[in-house]
């Protein structure tokens, strides 16, 4: 799934780059072995808080042993990030080289480029920020998170420039990512840490880009058209959650709140009045 859905702010990102998400529990059968792997990884994460030599050597040995075991994708991602950290801390070049081609859903080079663009924006270097975003646009395989961040910065730049067309394009791209919320790619970081349902609720109507989308619909005066188009798409495909959300946003722009809420209630992960969903972990606005 934060600014952009569930996105950490730059300050928070820099502070938590080494903090790894808990495992999302949906879409998999939990076994004793799964729990043992997760518990082992959590214990290693706590062991290496200070990065001392003795702790790092112990962690490295444990990680190499765990690497031989069967893991689900979420635990494998956690293991990979921990292993790369410990290969560097123990100066184990061979191990680091062996990990080089392993797939990471959130590679740091892309993340740092997004933060570089944001840093330029904070210094009012609009053209510099845009240039970095354009460079990112040529990279294939950007994670959903980084795609959202890119569009969030583009939306803010467009709003600053008064370019309503470009802003709306970016905002609509972000809204198009909302149906990803209940999936592992979002819940791996943002699942609930409280008791109850593990899939956390997302307060769609309160997200800044949804609020801005409603404003843009009202300013252009095409909320009725968007509602008609989205409703037709939803009628043709009842599982089109993107169309469902756009239709709800159009209804909100038309002050038809009861109808909008009825549509949003069809999405079991939307946090809405009267629904007892747990709040998400690490949900902050970006930018």
Q: Kindly state whether residue 236 falls inside one of the protein's structural domains.
A: no
In a domain, 194, yes or no: no
Q: Tell me, yes or no, whether 287 lies in a domain.
A: no
Instruction: Name the DSSP letter for residue 102.
Output: S
pTM above the 0.85 mark? no
Q: What is the pLDDT of residue 191?
A: 62
Average the pLDDT over 47-63 and give the result: 82
Determine, yes or no, domain membership for 8. no
Comparing 52 with 134, the larger pLDDT belongs to 134
Check whether 113 has a pLDDT greater than 80.
Answer: yes
Give the model confidence (pLDDT) of 205-255 as tens digits.
Answer: 999 999 999 999 999 999 999 999 999 999 999 999 999 999 999 999 999
Q: Is residue 266 part of a domain?
A: no
Residue 134, in any domain of the structure = no
Task: Show the domain range for 94.
Answer: 15-98
Q: What is the pLDDT of residue 4?
A: 44
Sign of CA dihedral 76, 78, 79, 85: positive
For 135-180, how does the pLDDT look when each residue is reduced to its tens digit (9 = 90+)?
887 776 777 888 889 999 999 999 999 999 999 999 999 999 998 8
The domain total for the chain is: 1
Residue 185's pLDDT band (cuts 50, 70, 90): low
């Amino acid at each position: 799934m934060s600014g952009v859905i569930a996105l950490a702010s730059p300050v928070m990102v820099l502070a938590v780059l080494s903090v790894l998400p808990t495992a999302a529990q949906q879409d998999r059968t939990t076994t004793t072995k799964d729990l043992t792997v997760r518990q082992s990884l959590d214990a290693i994460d706590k062991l290496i808080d200070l990065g001392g030599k003795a702790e790092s050597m112990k962690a490295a040995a444990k990680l190499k042993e765990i690497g031989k075991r069967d893991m689900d994708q979420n635990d494998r991602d956690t293991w990979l990030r921990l292993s790369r950290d410990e290969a560097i801390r123990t100066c184990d070049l061979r191990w680091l080289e062996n990990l080089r081609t392993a797939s990471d859903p959130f590679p740091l080079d892309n993340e740092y480029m997004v933060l570089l663009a944001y840093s330029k924006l904070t210094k009012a270097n609009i053209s510099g920020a845009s240039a970095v975003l354009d460079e990112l646009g040529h990279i294939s395989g950007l994670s959903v998170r980084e795609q959202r961040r890119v569009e969030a910065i583009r939306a803010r730049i467009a709003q600053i420039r008064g370019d309503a067309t470009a802003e709306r394009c970016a905002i609509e791209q972000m809204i198009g990512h909302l149906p990803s919320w209940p999936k592992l790619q979002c819940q791996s970081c943002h699942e609930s840490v409280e008791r109850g349902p593990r899939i956390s609720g997302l307060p769609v109507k309160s997200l800044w880009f949804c609020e801005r989308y409603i404003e843009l619909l009202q300013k252009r005066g095409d909320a009725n058209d968007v509602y008609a188009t989205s409703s037709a798409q939803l009628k043709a495909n009842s599982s089109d959650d993107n169309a469902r959300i756009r239709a709800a946003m159009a209804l909100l722009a038309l002050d038809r709140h009861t109808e909008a809420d009825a549509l949003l209630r069809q999405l079991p992960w939307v946090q809405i009045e009267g629904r007892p969903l747990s709040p998400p972990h690490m949900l902050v606005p970006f930018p």
